[in-house]
Amino acid sequence: MRLSRKEQVFMALLGAAAASGLSVLILILVEATNVLLPADTKFGIVFDAGSSHTALFVYRWPADKQNNTGVVSQALACRVEGPGISSYTSEPAQAGESLQACLGEALALIPQAQHRETPMFLGATAGMRLLSRKNSSQARDIFAAVSRTLSQSPVDFQGAELLAGRDEGAFGWITINYLLGRLVQYSFSGEWIRPPEGVLAGALDLGGASTQIAFTPEGPILDESTQASFRLYGYSHSIYTHSHLCFGRDQMLARLLAGLVQSSPAALLRHPCHHSGYRTTLSLAALYESPCVQTTAPRNLTQELTIEGTGNPGACVSAIRQLFNFSSCRGREECAFNGVYQPPVQGQFYAFSNFYYTFHFLNLTSGQPLGTINATIWEFCQRPWKLVQASYPGQQRWLPDYCASGLYILTLLHEGYGFSEATWASIEFRKQAGGGDIGWTLGYMLNLTGMVPARAPAEGRAQSLLVWVAGVALVALMLVTILGAAGVQLFWPRKAGRSGLGSGSRPDPAGP
């Protein structure tokens, strides 16, 4: 059947509309694919060079959402073999070599094509802060050695840095609140909103050489040196943060022993924090190498000291209290110890690192009240050494020190930081939250890569989806309009001719 001229015009318009509509739809669907399909993954590497050991963390996130919340996840955690890098003073090159195995694991995980664009950082904390204070030349040599090793890797090494204590506490605060999703939340109405101040968690970190506390106080922060301010996701945060150098677990144990030696300068030391029946010998020379040990060293540092445990938790607590200067805060409500300003603790806290490891060993991470925790630790300290050894096989390295560590944590949190019977319940002893390890490394990487934006996150995926829907509606409207116009051109004259209008005939005078 041969088409009329008007029908040919209609078919041409229909073809043009279909072609243009199909082209626009393809472009919109390509854009929609970016919205609806999984995005490429990016990676970041952080070395945590602590006083007792180094750890590597690999983080990953969808490439199209780096400025949104809750998208960064931990892909790998690797503990470096050997001590912390501050221990390699005589052989700095080995500090760099010690990192190779964990770095190899990270490179195997990250696709080779993405190695060059993957940022890598090394942050050193209290161990290197102490070494820098004691011998800055040795500290520089170690930093140079690890930088040489890491700069030879195929990833984008951004450098090795010595973290200030305040920053270590602040980055821990960012990490825990990021992992918990408490910096910003997405409401049911489709808007990014700021969570109530009360949901922000405080951070309690106990390392080998220092301890950090960071939280949002109820009132103003009166000492600017303890204040850290951030603008995250369009909201301002002002937190209290302080790092107490020499109050980490390992340095506490060294200072405790030095104090006991000073009070009883004999070849045999009866140690109240070790279990009865425990016996060991050590050289005094190593004890006084730390800048944290400020007691007078004995004249004969070459002599070996024999230590016998007595399992006396009461005497152990008395010795631990000597490590603090509580009298300097007498009469001052907003004071921790050693004259350090601290507002009253408030809100929920997450205690990690050695806080967690010690209480996890003692089975005290289930929210037990303060009285129960105190009684449990005292009972543990009073067990004979033979019974403790039999109960915990394979844990010989740290086993003699859990009594002192447990009592020290109680003293630090209760008498030092000021947690009472009532506020103790607000402390969660945890290693992980939201699928990632709690520590300063995630907050550090987020800060250096700009992945926690100062401005509120744009609803990128939601906006792209709206654009897609609007585009589809626009194409549909365009097709209807074109087809409608073509239909009018083709069919309206025929309909009019059948009724007599426009055909040259006159209307029926007897019409309806």
Three-class secondary structure assignment of 161-217: EECCHHHHHHHHHHHHHHHCCCCCEECCCCCEECCCHHHCCEEEEECCCEEEEEECC
382, 412, 432 — which closes off a domain? 432
Residue 105 carries which side chain, given as an amino acid letter? Answer: E
232 inside domain:
no
Q: Give yes or no: residues 23 and 45 share one domain.
A: no
Phi, psi of 483, rounded to the nearest 5 degrees: -65, -40
Choosing from 118, 141, 162, the residue where a domain stops is 162
Higher pLDDT, 117 or 506: 117
Q: What is the rounded average pLDDT for all residues in the chain?
A: 84
Query: pLDDT, tens digit, for every residue of 269-282?
Result: 999 999 999 999 98
Going by C-alpha positions, the residue among 428, 440, 407 that lies closest to residue 321 is: 407
The encoded tokens of residue 339 equal 């004259």
Domain boundary among 113, 137, 162: 162
Q: Tell me the C-alpha distance between 170 and 164, whole Å.
A: 10
Whether residues 268 and 385 fall in one domain: yes
Q: For residue 83, is it within any domain? A: yes
One of 97, 117, 168, 333 is an active-site residue; which one? 168
| Tens digit of each residue's pLDDT (9 = 90 or more) over 281-313 | 988 888 888 899 987 777 666 678 899 999 999
- Indicate the pLDDT class of residue 87, thresholds 50, 70 and 90: very high
20 and 48 in a common domain:
no
Same domain, 89 and 56: yes
Q: What residue spans of 83-125 are helical by DSSP H?
A: 92-97, 100-109
d(CA 52, CA 50): 6
In the chain, how many domains are there?
3
Same domain, yes or no: 256 and 108: no
pLDDT at 496: 42
Give the whole-angstrom CA distance, residue 381 versus residue 308: 14
Quick check: is 299 in a domain?
Answer: yes
Whole-angstrom distance, CA of residue 170 vs CA of residue 237: 11
Burial status of residue 161 (CB atoms within 10 A of its CB: 0-12, 13-18, 19 or more): middle
The single-letter code of the amino acid at 282 is L
SS3 content of the chain, % helix, strand, coil (to 5): 45, 20, 35
Q: What is the CATH number of the domain that holds 113?
A: 3.30.420.40
25 and 60 together in one domain: no
Q: Report how far residue 243's alpha carbon sits from residue 220's, in angstroms, rounded to the nearest whole number.
A: 19
Whether residue 386 is found in the same domain as residue 306: yes
Quick: pLDDT tens for 341-384. Answer: 999 999 999 999 999 999 999 999 999 999 999 999 999 999 99
Considering the domain architecture, whether residues 337 and 427 belong to the same structural domain is answered as: yes
Residue whose C-alpha is closest to residue 257's, from 298, 314, 302, 299:
298
Structural domain including 348 reads 249-432
In tens, the pLDDT along 380-392 reads 999 999 999 999 9
Residue 452 inside a domain? The answer is: no
**DSSP state, 459?**
-
Q: Is residue 265 domain-shared with residue 349, that is, in the same domain?
A: yes
Query: Would you place residue 510 in the very low, low, confident or very high pLDDT band (cuts 50, 70, 90)?
Result: very low
Query: Active-site residue 168, yes or no?
Result: yes
Same domain, 354 and 320: yes
pLDDT(486) > 90: no
Same domain? 122 vs 147 = yes
How much is the pLDDT for 64? Answer: 61
Distance CA 376, CA 303 (A): 37
146 and 88 co-located in one domain: yes
DSSP tag of 490: H
Burial class (CB in 10 A: 0-12, 13-18, 19+), 105: middle
**Distance between CA 389 and CA 396 in Å, rounded?**
8
The CATH number of residue 281's host domain is 3.30.420.150
357 inside domain: yes
